[in-house]
Structure formats: C-alpha cells, structure tokens
Amino acid sequence: MAGTGLGLERVKEVLTAGELTITGRLTNASNATLYGTVALDGVTLQCVHKPVAGERPLWDFPNGTLAAREVAAYELSHATGWRIVPPTVLRQGPWGPGMCQLWIDTPDDDDHELLALLPEDFDDDPDDPAAARWRPVLEVELGDGRPAVLAHKADERLRRIAAFDAVVNNADRKGGHLVIGTAEPDHVYGIDHGLTFNVDDKLRTLLWGFSHEPLGDEVRTVLERLARELAGGELGGRLAELLDPEEVAATRERIGEVLRTDRIPGPEGRRRPVPWPPF
C-alpha cells in the first residue's frame, strides 16, 4: 500500500495482530480517539485507535456500535476500489475492543485546497474560471460581517466521496474529514465514519455542491457492482457481521434509489444539512 511499502493484506494483518502502543490522544474529537503504533514482526505502523468504551452515547445511534460502523465503511469503500477509507479493522486494545485505522500523514500547514470561502458573487459570471472550479455549498457571514460562500472544488475525487457518503448515509462529512496525505498528494481520503449506516436519512455533508448532478459512467458502474455484491456476494456477508440486518437492507435500498435516479442525491428542497462544526 502506498506510503507503507506493504501490501494491503499485510497492513491489515499488522493493524489486527500487532502490538498496540498508545502514545497520544486527539483532543478535538467528540469520542475517545487515540494515536499510537502497531508493531508485528519488525513492521511498525502509525494508527488511530477508537475503543468502544470511549464512545459517547448518542440518541440516534445504538450505543457501542460506532467502531463497527467505521469498519463497515472501510469494507464498502474497499469494494468500490476508490480507497476512500484507510485500512480499518476491529481489534482488542488496552480498553477492550475498538477500531484501529492506518494513520495518514498530512502536510504540516493547515491549507485545505479542497474547500474555500469565496465572494458571494463568484459564480455570477459563467466565463469566470472560478465558476467552473468550485461548487457552492452554503452562504455564510465572515467575522467582519461580509457575506461569502462556502464552496468545495468541482473535483472528481470529491464526487466519488459524495456518492460514497450517500450510500453509507454519512451524518458527519466535515471538511476536516477530507484528508490529503503526504505520501499520495493526488489522493483524497475520508476519515471518521462512525456516524454511518443509519436506517433513517442522516446525510450531513459539506459536499452538497454535487447535488443532482448525473452519476457518470464510472460511479454508476461501481454502484451497480456494489448492488450485486451486497445482494449475494462477500460484501453483503461482511456487512452483516458488522451492522444490523435493517441497516444492511437500508444500504441496498439507498444504492438502488441512487441508481434509479442516476443522480448524486440532494436534500430535496430542504436546507442543506451540514455537520457542526463544519471543519
């Protein structure tokens, strides 16, 4: 796998069976999110560990299920071939079971090239290159009172993630959950997928700018394959080990609906729900 010098199966083996050492905590996370390493047979990888015991109770998700949802999101991501979610496994840790995910190193600067605050009239002129490069999401007010538009890039990598989020019903696609690693500067990862696979519509995202755009051949082909694999393939069996049957069935229904409309889903006339805080 890029950035590790190892194949995917070896990375997953180290994440699952390696000695887990916790060296820090990500303090801006709402649930216990720990940073550390896993080491096995001379191979050491950086990782994120989220123990089930550190999950904050939520009114709309069953207690103790977020780690399994993170792994389910990885399994579905892996099946797409898009590699949106870094390798993620369930394993035992110092505080009991939890998820363990390969850490993605990112640049030291905070510049997020995928999102921007733009002047409110940036897309008034269709001949302006900015109108083609960016998709508006929300009208916002800056600290000095000036109006602006929060926008994301019109980027095929983000379109794939928007389709993926619609399928897994992601309730938490913040800007900070879009990661460009130093080892693969042309690849965009998505992280933090604990709030996924709810049977009710929970989609909250900063990628609403793709709403109602045609899927395109690549996305449609991938979703058609996912539908087949969920109906009777290995993916369906794997998700059944991680999610409730109703949640697996709802995932199949979402894929079917997206394929039926042949469009990236939108909020259907409602105000665009975004996670808070958005970054």
Residue 121 is predicted with a pLDDT of 85
The overall pTM is greater than 0.85: yes
Residue 130 is predicted with a pLDDT of 74
Residue 57 is predicted with a pLDDT of 93
Q: Give DSSP secondary structure letters for 27-84.
A: TT-SS--EEEEEEETTEEEEEEEEEGGGPPP-SSS-TT-HHHHHHHHHHHHHHHTS--
Residue 253 is predicted with a pLDDT of 97
pLDDT surpasses 60 at 22: yes
Q: Is 142 helix (H, G, I), strand (E, B) or coil?
A: coil
pLDDT surpasses 90 at 129: no
Residue 186 is predicted with a pLDDT of 92
Residue 143 is predicted with a pLDDT of 85
Residue 3 is predicted with a pLDDT of 73
Residue 112 is predicted with a pLDDT of 64
Q: Which residue has the higher pLDDT, 141 or 260?
A: 260
Residue 110 is predicted with a pLDDT of 54
Q: Which tens digit of pLDDT belongs to each residue from 26-71?
A: 888 889 999 999 999 999 999 999 999 999 999 999 999 999 999 9
What number is the average pLDDT over the span 185-194? 96
Q: Which tens digit of pLDDT belongs to each residue from 222-263?
A: 999 999 999 988 999 999 999 999 999 999 999 999 999 999
Residue 163 is predicted with a pLDDT of 98
Q: Please state, in angstroms and rounded to a whole number, the distance separating the CA atoms of residues 80 and 279.
A: 26
H or E segment at 167?
Answer: helix 156-168
Q: Which tens digit of pLDDT belongs to each residue from 65-99?
A: 999 999 999 999 999 999 999 999 999 999 999 99
pLDDT surpasses 80 at 126: no
What tokens were used for 131?
């109108």
Q: Which tens digit of pLDDT belongs to each residue from 192-227?
A: 999 999 999 999 999 999 999 999 999 999 999 999
CB-based contact 254:169 (threshold 8 Å): yes
* Length of the chain, in residues: 279
Residue 5 is predicted with a pLDDT of 85
pLDDT surpasses 80 at 127: no
